[in-house]
Structure 1
């Protein structure tokens, strides 16, 4: 058994599911990931174990005790430490040859173009409430023909959407402009989860606190999101297999044992989405 790092040996167990030539393609690609918290940390480690060796990463935050239930980098030893530094150290422990371009100030108007430079795919891991940054990143991805993916950790499942070059854009799907901040949060959530599989077991809806920008979450959802993202990123990078893109989406819920392929032509302008928005807005007094 080898005790020194060798790329070909380290990722040899991938071979069979991908070819040796495809593994070398994966090795050459660069992934941009914004946010190193709940799903972001799991995305980095999953893609590092897939064999990705180039990352553009951003995060300005530190780990705290409140992150323990779901964020892979949050331990008693990392409380108070920068999430970005922690996740880089964990990824380098998997593959010391990984190269990182880092954005420790997070994503802003001045650095988003640089953040996406040379990226072969963007993986969205921004905080749910970071809508302005999210809109800016997805808009630039569309302009630069960069595939963009988001796998939302919802309850004990994940809802997955792909935005591919030449297809429907983030804004065309979610239609957020012209709405108040809380209305945009609601529209974003409903667009992520049109199947709403998680509703059956949400025991305390009051824990979704828009005013303080907090909501319930589980590590189960983060792990599922990372797995689904890793599979789809591989398919995108290798141009292999059917990649579901909006207005289609996927939602798998491990708690309810349900899987749905969703279709919302027109995005949040779809009649079903309009009805869901009207009912949810009334229920939440927005």
Structure 2
């Protein structure tokens, strides 16, 4: 069996990263909440970049319904803890990495511990767990931790960067937390991917927001990984290059469209309010 050698394992990063930057990646701590649709892929990609320390969370097990998109979902992992499976895979790439696990998910009782010592947070929380997104991203803002959120939409993705200099989660999404879950999810989806490229081909009846159901496909999740992890690396190595919300990125590979946009006033933007009204009518919620 070969002996692990960090410098050799990640030597092909050189030229894209410098030796000093690779050392920073090795010493950095990235937190990822969620090991499912995109979170597992985020972990593996960051492990291959050479990140040396992780904090990860999940409380779910793999099931067959995950096969179309989740990195760790295979016949041999059905019924197995997602976090344990992904931890093992990441350590098989970099046995020297430290991975701290949170098997009850992230909540008010452990969010402080989860974010202690973290350099960058990558949000892979289940989309419909809006309160958890809010909890962690607001906590990151308080602590000055940059965060990246990617939401796969069909064959594309919407990507948002959160920093203390940008808008807050609450100001950007403008969600009424007393409203039904479907309306909260609609608000979040409209601001996560304001360009709406996916709406040109996804059938409206594929969404059942109140039942927490939305279509997904592996290639859209892979696009999310590529863009989100690039932004997460930039947050550590080149933070001046980041454009936080209300800036956004939308890319769709099916229609080959890219938009680097600026959503003035977030969901309070008059055009967003109109989109919300029309979408409610179409979805019947």
Normalised-by-shorter TM-score class: over 0.9
Q: Tell me the distance in 2 between the aligned counterparts of 1:240 and 1:198.
A: 29
Q: Tell me the distance in 2 between the aligned counterparts of 1:241 and 1:116.
A: 22
Alignment of 1:1-286 (within 5 A): 3-180=2-179, 181-202=181-202, 204-239=203-238, 242-286=241-285
Greater CA drift, 172-181 or 264-273: 172-181
SS at match of 1:235: helix
Q: Tell me the distance in 1 between the aligned counterparts of 2:215 and 2:91.
A: 30
Does the aligned pair in 1 maintain the 2:165–2:244 contact within 8 Å? no
Displacement of 1:205 in angstroms is 2.2
Q: Cα deviations across residues 175-233 of structure 1 (Å, max 9, x unaligned)?
A: 1135512211110000101100111111x322211232111101101111111112111
Does the aligned pair in 2 maintain the 1:145–1:166 contact within 8 Å? no
Q: CA RMSD in A?
A: 1.3
Q: Tell me the distance in 2 between the aligned counterparts of 1:195 and 1:121.
A: 26
Q: Tell me the distance in 2 between the aligned counterparts of 1:237 and 1:159.
A: 21
Displacement of 1:241 in angstroms is 5.8
SS at match of 2:75: coil
- TM-score, structure 1 as length reference: 0.96
Greater CA drift, 232-241 or 35-44: 232-241
Q: Tell me the distance in 2 between the aligned counterparts of 1:114 and 1:211.
A: 32
Q: Tell me the distance in 1 between the aligned counterparts of 2:182 and 2:171.
A: 19
List 4+ stretches of structure 1 deviating above 4 A: none
Q: Tell me the distance in 1 between the aligned counterparts of 2:110 and 2:232.
A: 24
Q: Cα deviations across residues 68-127 of structure 1 (Å, max 9, x unaligned)?
A: 000010000000000000000110111011101110011112111111111101100010
Q: 1:60 to 1:178 in 2, by over 3 A?
A: closer
Stretches of structure 2 lacking an aligned partner (at least 5 in a row): none
SS at match of 2:251: strand
Q: How many residues align?
A: 284
Q: Tell me the distance in 2 between the aligned counterparts of 1:106 and 1:257.
A: 36
Q: Cα deviations across residues 10-58 of structure 1 (Å, max 9, x unaligned)?
A: 0000000010111001111101100000100000001111111111100
Does the aligned pair in 2 maintain the 1:157–1:221 contact within 8 Å? yes
Q: Tell me the distance in 2 between the aligned counterparts of 1:229 and 1:198.
A: 18
- TM-score, structure 2 as length reference: 0.97
SS at match of 2:145: coil
Does the aligned pair in 2 maintain the 1:124–1:149 contact within 8 Å? yes
